[in-house]
Structure 1
Amino acid sequence: MSKPLTTATGRRKTSVARVSILPGSGSITVNGRDFEEYFPTVTLQNQIIVPLALTNSRQTYDFKINASGGGVTGQMGAVLLGISRALITVNPELRATLKKAGLLTRDSRAKERKKPGRPGARKRFQFSKR
């Protein structure tokens, strides 16, 4: 196996994706499985291809991805950011294209913590007049 060109990390909610980019023919493997098998819906699969389609690098690189934590959608967001960051380190000229598409911004939304004395993060107990 050849040495990766670079590695990058993407995060979303509680998910983390470590992306290695290698010169190749365009295969994407997530946790040892093909990405079409790992991400079940076509919507998720299409989201992952977006940075590759924008930069015309779908058939240029192979991606080996290790995704952990969270759910499928969170992992997809983490993989998306990881792929975008990896492409920039390989070719810095792609930064403007990916930045304009909003693919370099980490989605900071995460579950709000539960506060003490409350049933949830913001929910109050039911009011009782008597």
Structure 2
Amino acid sequence: MSKLIFQKDNIGLGKRKEAVARVFLIPGKGNLIVNKVSGNKYLQYNENYLNLIWAPLKELKLEKQFDIVTLVKGGGLTGQAQAIQLGVARQLCKIDNKNRTLLKPFGFLTRDARIKERKKYGLRKARKAPQYSKR
């Protein structure tokens, strides 16, 4: 892989919870590489995660035309897989703007904004209060 592929304008950025994925779509045969490791191995051969990532490409019938190379950090495997999916969908829209109208109804371009709520002072967690004692 050449350095030309990994340019700032060539990134599809996906986020979910704490996970951040930088996605690069490269013309290829349909391989998935996550953090320089085979995608199958990284995602522990979990079919749900793999199907989630390939869903935007399958919807456009492009799964055998692109290789997905991602650099992902933060969160757990589920959040990372969903972040990669969003990055793939965004990258497909950068490649061809017509893809946007095809991917939008499936919710592939929607950023899931649910994140962990911050802890408040006087409480044990975000909402869990210490036990109330009457006497």
Is TM-score (shorter-chain normalized) higher than 0.5?
yes
SS of residue paired to 2:20: strand
Which segments of 5 or more consecutive residues in structure 2 lack a partner in the other structure? none
Q: Percent identity?
A: 41
What is residue 86 of structure 1 aligned with on the other side? 91
Larger mean Cα displacement after TM superposition, 3-12 or 109-118: 3-12
SS of residue paired to 1:97: helix
What is residue 9 of structure 1 aligned with on the other side? 13
Q: Any runs of at least 4 consecutive aligned residues in structure 1 with deviations exceeding 2 A, and if so which?
A: 1-6
What is residue 52 of structure 1 aligned with on the other side? 57
Amino acid at match of 2:85: L
Q: Tell me which of 39, 48, 60 is aligned to 2:43.
A: 39
CA distance in 2, matches of 1:39, 1:92: 30
CA distance in 2, matches of 1:92, 1:26: 21
CA distance in 2, matches of 1:62, 1:48: 12
Amino acid at match of 1:4: I
Q: Tell me which of 117, 127, 132 is aligned to 1:122.
A: 127
CA distance in 1, matches of 2:134, 2:122: 19
Q: How many residues align structurally?
A: 130
CA distance in 2, matches of 1:122, 1:57: 45
Amino acid at match of 2:133: S
Amino acid at match of 2:31: S
CA distance in 2, matches of 1:66, 1:14: 14
TM-score (norm 2): 0.91
Task: Establish whether residue 29 from structure 1 lines up as the match of residue 33 from structure 2.
Answer: yes
Q: Tell me which of 111, 116, 120 is aligned to 1:111.
A: 116
State the superposition RMSD in angstroms.
1.3
Amino acid at match of 1:102: G
